A and B are shown apart, each in its own frame.
Chain A
Amino acid sequence: MIDTALLIAFLASTAGAATPLVVASMGELVTERSGVLNLGMEGMMLVGAVTGFGVTLATGQMWLGLLAAMAAGMLMSLIFGFLVLTLQTNQVATGLALTLFGIGVSAFMGRGFVGQTVERMPQLTFPLLSEIPFVGPLLFRFDGMVYASVALVVLIGWMLARTRLGLVIRAVGESPHSAHAIGFPVIALRYGTVLFGGAMAGLGGAYLSLALTPMWVEGMTAGRGWIALAQVVFATWKPRGVLVGAYLFGGVTVLQFHGQGLGLAIPSEFLSMLPYLATIVVLVIICRNPQTILLNKPMSLGQNFKAD
């Protein structure tokens, strides 16, 4: 018999752990739908985390921190976009360079922040609703980003499936040459999706340093950028899938904090390995059927496009 309070705590912290993955993955999903593979997620998230933390620390305004984190993520992705879209460099190598650069830049920027704290992102309070037993703490006691991330999934899903912009993004991702022939500005559009991806990665990173653990630690993303990339594959490039995957992973991630309470007599290091192992296992399950990937993956993913 598991304690109800513990179960609630477990489920509620799952949402917290899932939110940065949802936000970052949605950004990458849009980027990949337009045919660009940005492996620099980890680096952009780290720079977002350190920028968001620094600006919040300096101004005392969390919303400024979040905005700055988005701007920082965009700036990082602009470097990537310039290299890949304008200079036609290899996307895999450039993405890796962005991650390595981001690890260095964030460590450099954050050297004065170690040991400092900011106030945690506040929970929204819904009068009455938050007081409902069981349902209240599960649905109505989160910070704004948790709700915003779910809204983001719905919004992006709608945008990709139902709007002209979504249609163009998908067309460019499937066949940039045809899209170009019809007259769509392929490179400009890809710049747009790359920048959006950067903004979301920065925001996801800032959620780590402002809400999940309100402090700055070097390399604090601990591979979440890579997990976010993997999420896009599990989701087979569909927004809904990102939500399911991220909450699944959120659950696995918080197991390490609740493991002992849940009666798991396993050393904490092994519980800490779980999210990474789970990522591998789910990737295998999704990828073992080549049809699933072939049917859903944007056809031009990872390939550069040059007009003329």
Chain B
Amino acid sequence: MAEASLSSALAAVIRRDLLLALRRKSDVLTTLFFFVIVVSLFPLGIGPEMAMLRQIAPGVLWVAALLATMLSLPRLFAADHADGTLEQMALSAVPLGVLVTGKILAHWLLSGLPLALLAPVLGLQFDLPADALGVMVLALLIGTPVLSLIGAVGAGLTLGVRGGGVLVSLLVLPLYVPVLIFGAGAVESHIGGLGATAHLSLLAAFLALAAFFGPWATTVALRIALE
């Protein structure tokens, strides 16, 4: 067998996960519909005043994005764990960290990216101005990879544990809070005229930290689960 380079292994894992998702679209679509429905419920529950809706829009969109990401976390490793693929990955010559990074990237392409692309349409429901929608998309594009990276650690830790789906929310949601604060804060401060740069820079800093430590911690968690 020819020795596979790390980048080709990474690409192969991403391609495989995307193909698997394409073959079974319902998983991905459920998450997106969940996002749309949760966001659409808020105006019904709170009332249709536009001023109020404009104010709560960033927070509502972000909380819904957090919950939607959480919903998709269990399927990140569960199927591969069940059919033994994960063990083969751990045994393969390619470092597990690289394969895990590929899986996290694929998870983001399937959950984070569509959420960010859907957000402007939902933001229109809340009467957000066009430039605020732009900031919203940008914040989601920087923030949702952090959600996938942190979530992967939680998914790895709860792999094969009884009640894992509920447990993952307890483990992961507290760690999501900074992303929520600065993600929603970026849009709010843009609307308030303060500019979103500071918040976006902090989000990018979180992304850098999570990109460095996330795959590593996930790999450790998976090795513990596979023992």
State yes or no: do A and B come from one complex. Answer: no
